[in-house]
Amino acid sequence: MEFGAPRRKHRMSLTPMIDVVFLLLVFFMLASQFGTPAQVSLNLGGGASSGYTGPARLIRVGDEALQLNGTARSEGDILEALPGLMDGPDDMIILRAGEDVPLQGVIEVMEWLGTEGYSNLVLVE
């Protein structure tokens, strides 16, 4: 009794596995972050016993507007008024975020103050 020619064994194709690995690679590359997070140096207010006796330099960051010492002002007005209240760019500027103000708004104010040379920023509640 003859059963015919023996069949040749087929090797399993690696193409589907390579396709899956490639798709996973692309997925994780697109899902990851390539930039390094920026760090912001920040001094936290120490409370009522901080010993600060200079002129008031409080910038309140609101939803729509900024206030310097309780008066609503634009960014340009604040930058014009700050040198008159300060001895130098190393003097302390106090930042206070308003109710429900996103953190990004405070960071943006800190960044434009930093680009203008003001580095001693204190964040209070």
- For residue range 41-80, list pLDDT tens digits in order: 666 655 555 555 666 677 788 777 788 888 888 888 888 8
Per the structure block, which two tokens stand in for 122? 């204190």
- Tell me which of 15 and 33 has the higher pLDDT: 15
Contact (Cβ atoms closer than 8 angstroms) between residue 37 and residue 107: no
Residue type, 84: G
Write down the pTM of the prediction: 0.56
Rounded average pLDDT over 93-122: 83
What pLDDT was estimated at residue 96?
A: 84
Beta-strand relationship, 58-61 and 66-68: antiparallel
Name which residue leads in pLDDT, 36 or 32: 32
Backbone φ and ψ of 12, nearest 5°: -70, 135
Each residue of 93-107: pLDDT tens digit?
888 888 788 888 888
Distance in angstroms (rounded) separating the CA atoms of residues 7 and 27: 40
pLDDT, position 17: 93
Give the per-residue pLDDT at 27. 94
> Distances from the Cα of 119 to the Cαs of 73, 95, 114, in angstroms?
21, 12, 6
Six token digits for residue 107: 């960071």
Residue whose structure tokens are 């087929």? 10
- CATH number for the domain whose boundaries are 43-124: 3.30.420.270
What is the pLDDT at residue 106?
84
Among residues 27, 1, 91, the alpha carbon closest in space to that of 53 is found at: 91
- What pLDDT sits at residue 20? 96
Q: What's the pLDDT tens digit per position in 15-27? A: 999 999 999 999 9
CA max distance for the chain: 110
According to the model, what pLDDT value does residue 95 have? 84
